[in-house]
Copies of this chain bind each other. A is one copy, B any other.
Amino acid sequence: MTLHLDPVALNGAELFDALGEDDRMDVLRAGTVRRLAKGRRIFAQGDPGETCHTLLDGRVKIVQSRPDGGQSVIRFIGPGEMFGTVAALMDRPFPADAVAVVDSVEIHWPVTAMRRLMTRFPQLAICSAASAGRRLFELQERLGELSAERVEQRIARTVARLVRQAGRRTEEGVEIDFPITRQDLAEMTGSTLHTVSRTLSAWDERGVTASSRRRLVVRKLHLLLEIADPDDG
């Protein structure tokens, strides 16, 4: 089965925004597009980083597992975002697993091909550096939060971030457009599913959110932001 190759599919993809349509087509042809069934692991922590990926549709979770058996959710990838690229370009093993959380579509390139493309289109190299920079800043921010803020505040910030990344307006409010568990939230905030559960229950009570099994709707964003940033921001 062949998926159609539409250069427009890459509109908004961070890696390709700076390229013209013709160039995009060349880049597309050098890669492989494939469907990913929900739950499918795209690469595993420790695998040699030999491929660069960009998500075209769906949602992918990047999870790091720690020696003690615990996991950390590093981030969720949305359409247009690349992943696995930094590791590949640095010839390092992947530092985390990548798992499709819903049925998704991605395109991927062997790192050798990507290097060739980057030589030909320096914009690609610059974009990928910028993307690394953005993530560096984001992590720095999260590091500061994690060491200074209380759990509720961290959960609020995390949910607010998810709203920005994956919020879909509904009549009820803004819904996170992919299934997310309390456990996920716990692993993103350095907490436990128990505490997350209690927190969400309390928020539901107050009408801030409406959460259910794998589903999260923010009904009063202003209140959430208030919790995330008490003395305003």
Residues of A in contact with B (beta carbons under 8 Å apart): 64, 66-68, 70, 72, 74, 86-87, 89-90, 92, 95-96, 122, 125-126, 128-130, 132-137, 139-144, 146-148, 187, 189-191, 229, 231, 233
Choice from B143, B187, B190 contacting A139 with Cβ under 8 Å: B143
How far does the Cβ of A31 sit from chain B's closest Cβ, in whole Å? 20
**A interface majority secondary structure:** helix
By Cβ-Cβ distance, the 3 closest A-B pairs, closest first, are: A147-B190, A129-B129, A139-B139
Contact status of A70 and B148, CB under 8 A, knowing A64-B140, A140-B64, A143-B142: yes
Pair A129/B89 contact, Cβ less than 8 Å: yes
Pair A133/B68 contact, Cβ less than 8 Å: no
A212–B233 Cα distance when bound, in Å, is 39
CB neighbours (8 Å) of A189 from chain B are: 147
How far does the Cβ of A42 sit from chain B's closest Cβ, in whole Å? 18
Can you identify 13 A-B contacts, CB atoms within 8 angstroms? A66-B144, A68-B148, A86-B133, A89-B130, A90-B133, A125-B126, A128-B129, A139-B139, A139-B140, A143-B146, A146-B146, A147-B187, A147-B190
Chain B residue at minimal CB-CB distance from A146: B146
